[in-house]
Amino acid sequence: MTTTTTIPVVPALDHDEEARALITSTGIVVPVLETVIGGWRVRTPCQNETVLLAGTPIDRVHVVIDAGHGGSAEPGAVGVNGIVESELNLQVALHVEQLLEAAGYEVLLTRYSDYRLPIITRAEIANTLGADLLVSIHHNAGTAGASPAPGSEVYHARDSVEGKRLAGLIREEAVAQLADFEADWVAGPDGGPDEGVTYRLDARTGDDFYGMVRRPTIPAVITEMSYLGNPTEAALLETPGYRLAEAEAVVAGIVRWYETEDPGSGFVEPSYQIDSSGGGGGTTGCVDPELG
């Protein structure tokens, strides 16, 4: 893995005796609301409350990695070759977790299997854990204009200085590492000006539109590494080596965020706002998975 650092200096964590999150016996990550006699009162993925008597307690982690989308109701984009984004996001997120843990960081994914997980719960997991940062893994849909280099996009909250820096570092690594692969690269909507590192505002409110950067109280970014609508990139995404390269780029950016004062690059001002109520990620019609 190519990074600008060598041996990471991992910050120490204050581990509490009481859990802040729980991995249930069925592998579902839930935020803990309080410890009760013999168990934990938790928030379910669909924002209900219940008491669980078994599971693996998690007190704190350095990094929360979010595999975007999930479940049959919210699979995300589907590639021209049939790749489902929610499954791809999870594969890359698992690589990120493994690589970060090998570097000495404590990591938790928001989900480890394919089920619906509203945005509010994803953010609550990270906030409750008191993590240092949150990275949400996604892949672009549709088609875009031709580009001489990978058109990776990373989104941050408009006013988050550290979120913006993290986004810039991850994009630097993504463009550098993915360029080693052969593809007919595309970038931005019809080759437009939003390729790179930016934010997206809600035209109705003027606030950040994307819930995965608006709701967390910690630096948070959304990565859109490659285009599922581009046949050559979709073909690469079928290969383990390319998925691993995406994960390595995320990890390299995170390590640089911890280890350096590098500002990152690729920042662009958004060319438009979104006038929409959103395209999913809410709780309406949400059915909780089996929690054990």
Fold of the domain built from segment(s) 60-259: Aminopeptidase (3.40.630)
Report the alpha-carbon distance of residue 190 to residue 126 in Å, rounded. 34
pLDDT > 80? residue 280: no
Residue 242 corresponds to which tokens in the numbers above? 């390319």
Residue 17 pLDDT > 60: no
Nearest to 246 by CA among 148, 187, 141, 173: 173
Report the 3 state secondary structure along 150-210. Answer: CCCEEEECCCCHHHHHHHHHHHHHHHHHHCCCCCCCEECHHHCCCCCEECCEECCCCCECC
Place of tokens 């928030």: 43
226-249: pLDDT as tens digits: 999 999 999 999 999 999 999 999
Predicted confidence at residue 142, as pLDDT, reads 80
pLDDT tens track for 21-78:
999 999 999 999 999 999 999 999 999 999 999 999 999 999 999 999 999 999 999 9
More confident residue, 127 or 271: 127
Domain boundaries, the chain: 18-59, 60-259
| pLDDT of res. 258 | 98
Q: Is the pLDDT of residue 213 over 50?
A: yes
Asked if the model's pLDDT at residue 154 lies above 90, the reply is yes
- Inform me whether the pLDDT recorded for 279 exceeds 70: no
Reported as a pLDDT band with limits 50, 70 and 90, residue 15 is low
What confidence category does residue 188 fall into, taking pLDDT thresholds of 50, 70 and 90? confident
